[in-house]
């Protein structure tokens, strides 16, 4: 488990003090995949780099599996870091070393013998699907293959935590998918805790269990990915969710409508129920679907529909009450004109 308490990172620059991380407290459970999202400058990199003390926090505490990293001496910290793997957006492979040597490097740092290193590199290459690339140089690999080497190197010393710093941001969508499924696989098979930072909501939607949203160095919202997708509270979280669910309706379309426009979220099994057709049977309202889709967030459906309701104000109110009762999540986007 990772426990971050009141973490602050302030940079002293020529122009003054810049706060990268501002009083962040978070808990990441063992075996969880936790995503941190935010726009550029929100403090994601500062936070993740503080987790393995690549950046020294200005104040606050970081505990991993009960061990307080912020109170360790240099030697103990070096030892503790072996249990925290990290992968990077631009892979950070050594170009003059082969795939084997890049991975072996991490094992040498842990004082493993030659035969232990040979056996472990073989195992790792098998795990990331690169057995046939053992003796090639990074320049001969695709971006996805380079990241696989990065993952193998990060896992070399059997860490309990893997930190991913924009690990798929330099990759195309289909390579991103394959790297994300590899991360999911190792999370399941090894019970590895994964913390990833990204500006891509797609990544969070695909593999994270829980997430936090950062703005100006602070965590402004956190929770289960499904809950944040289906019921975001903060405007910035709504922005991120909208960017992926693409639910901005053209202003012109809204202007042309006279009825009441509502947005309904159908969560989990409700997405498969016939709420809308029940409404039309029970109330004297007409409905016009303006937009609709069902997203699957880690196999759980989330239906989102935007509808225009027309009819008498009383019947519309009754229909809205009914839908709210059944779905628990209805937003009036625009009242009747
Ligand atoms: N080494 C540094 N020296 C001075 N200021 C820094 C340093 N690193 C980050 N900052 C500042 O801290 C704030 C948070 O930056 P950080 O890189 O952590 O954000 P981010 O969300 O990761 O953004 P990006 O995705 O662009 O890296 C920004 O204002 C940034 O300018």
Using CA atoms, how far apart are residues 46 and 125, in angstroms rounded to an integer?
31
Q: What spatial distance separates the first Cα and last Cα of the chain, rounded to whole Å?
A: 53
Do 76 and 191 lie in a common domain?
yes
Token pair belonging to 149: 């080497």
Cα(41) to centroid(ligand 1), Å = 5
- What's the CATH code of the domain at 125? 3.40.50.300
Q: Are residues 97 and 177 in the same domain?
A: yes
Specify whether 49 is located in the same domain as 154. yes
Give the contacts of 121 (CB within 8 A, at least 6 positions apart). 100, 103, 104, 107, 134, 152, 156
* Whether residue 90 is found in the same domain as residue 28: yes
- Mutational pocket test of ligand 1: of 45, 49, 196, 200, the residue with most ligand atoms within 8 Å of the beta carbon: 45
150 and 125 in a single domain? The answer is: yes
Burial of 178 (0-12, 13-18, 19+ CB in 10 A): middle
**Do residues 325 and 209 both lie within one domain?**
no
Same domain (yes/no): 17, 135:
yes
* pLDDT, tens digit, 9 for 90 and up, residues 40-92: 999 999 999 999 999 999 999 999 999 999 989 888 998 888 899 999 999 99
Percent of the chain residues past pLDDT 70, beyond the cut: 97
- For CA atoms 161, 166, 169, 170, the dihedral sign is negative
Query: How confident is the model at residue 333, as a pLDDT?
Result: 84
The residue among 275, 209, 227 whose CA lies nearest residue 32 is 209
Please check whether residues 174 and 153 belong to one and the same domain: yes
pLDDT given at position 271: 62
Tally Cβ neighbours within 10 Å of residue 198: 22
Q: Which residues line ligand 1 (CB under 6 A)?
A: 11, 13, 18, 20, 38, 40-46
User: For the chain, what is the domain count?
Assistant: 2
68 and 165 share a domain?
A: yes
Cβ proximity of 144 and 178 under 8 Å: yes
What's the pLDDT at 137?
97
Owning domain of residue 329: 252-334
Alpha carbon nearest to ligand 1 atom 28, residue: 41
Same domain, 195 and 281: no
Interface confidence, given as ipTM, is 0.97
Q: Which amino acid residue places its CA nearest to atom 2 of ligand 1?
A: 11
What pTM, to 2 d.p., does this model score? 0.87
| DSSP symbol at 236 | H
Give the Cβ contact number of residue 18 at 10 Å: 13
- What is the residue-level pLDDT of the chain in tens, covering all 337 positions? 999 999 999 999 999 999 999 999 999 999 999 999 999 999 999 999 999 999 999 999 999 999 999 989 888 998 888 899 999 999 999 999 999 999 999 999 889 999 999 999 999 999 999 999 999 999 999 999 999 999 999 999 999 999 999 999 999 999 999 999 999 999 999 999 999 999 989 999 999 999 999 999 999 999 999 999 888 899 999 888 888 776 667 777 777 788 888 988 888 776 667 888 888 899 999 988 888 888 888 788 888 888 899 999 999 999 999 999 888 788 888 886 5
Give 126-129's long-range contacts (Cβ < 8 A, gap of 24+). 127/152, 127/155, 127/186, 128/152, 128/182, 129/182
Cβ contacts of residue 11 below 8 Å, gap of 6+?
17, 18, 19, 20
CATH at 275: 3.30.70.260
Structure tokens at 40: 């550029």
Q: Do 162 and 276 belong together in one domain?
A: no
User: Ligand 1: which of 38, 41, 48, 218 to mutate, most ligand atoms within 8 Å of CB?
Assistant: 41
Q: Are 176 and 315 part of one and the same domain?
A: no
Integer Cα distance of 61 and 241 in angstroms: 31
Atom 24 of ligand 1, nearest CA residue: 40
* Ligand 1: centre distance to CA 37 (Å): 14
The residue out of 178, 210, 243 marking a domain boundary is 243
> Mind listing the pLDDT tens digit for each residue in 94-116?
999 999 999 999 999 889 999 99
Q: Which of 38, 39, 46 to mutate to test the pocket of ligand 1 (most atoms within 8 A of CB)?
A: 46
Identify the domain boundary among 192, 208, 243: 243
């Amino acid at each position: 488990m990772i426990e971050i308490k009141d973490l602050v990172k302030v940079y002293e620059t020529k122009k003054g003090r810049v706060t990268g991380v501002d009083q962040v407290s978070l808990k990441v459970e063992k075996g969880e995949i936790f995503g941190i999202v935010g726009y550029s400058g929100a403090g994601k990199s500062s936070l993740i780099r503080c987790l393995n003390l690549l950046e020294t926090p200005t104040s606050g505490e970081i505990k991993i599996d009960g061990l307080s990293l912020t109170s360790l001496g240099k030697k103990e910290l070096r030892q503790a870091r072996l249990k925290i793997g990290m992968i990077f957006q631009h892979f950070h492979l050594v170009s003059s070393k082969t795939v084997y040597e890049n991975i072996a490097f991490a094992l040498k740092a842990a004082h493993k013998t030659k035969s232990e290193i040979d056996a472990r590199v073989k195992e790792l290459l098998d795990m990331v699907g690169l057995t046939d690339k053992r003796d090639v140089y990074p320049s001969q690999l695709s971006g996805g293959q380079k990241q696989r080497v990065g993952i193998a190197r990060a896992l070399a010393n059997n860490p309990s935590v893997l930190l991913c710093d924009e690990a798929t941001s330099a990759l195309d969508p289909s390579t991103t998918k394959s790297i994300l499924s590899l991360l999911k696989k190792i999370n399941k098979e090894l019970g590895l805790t994964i913390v990833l930072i990204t500006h891509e909501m797609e990544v969070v939607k695909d593999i994270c269990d829980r997430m936090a949203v950062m703005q100006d160095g602070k965590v402004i919202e956190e929770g289960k990915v499904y809950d944040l997708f289906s019921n975001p509270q903060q405007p910035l979280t709504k922005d991120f969710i909208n960017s992926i669910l693409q639910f901005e309706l053209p202003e012109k379309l809204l202007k042309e409508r006279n009825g009441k426009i509502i947005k309904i979220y159908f969560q989990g099994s409700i997405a498969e129920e016939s709420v809308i057709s029940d409404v039309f049977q029970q109330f004297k309202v007409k409905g016009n679907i303006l937009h609709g889709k069902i997203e699957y967030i880690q196999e759980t459906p989330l239906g989102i529909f935007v509808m225009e309701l027309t009819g008498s104000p009383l019947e519309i109110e009754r229909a809205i009450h009914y839908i709210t009762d059944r779905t628990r999540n209805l937003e009036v986007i625009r009242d009747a004109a």
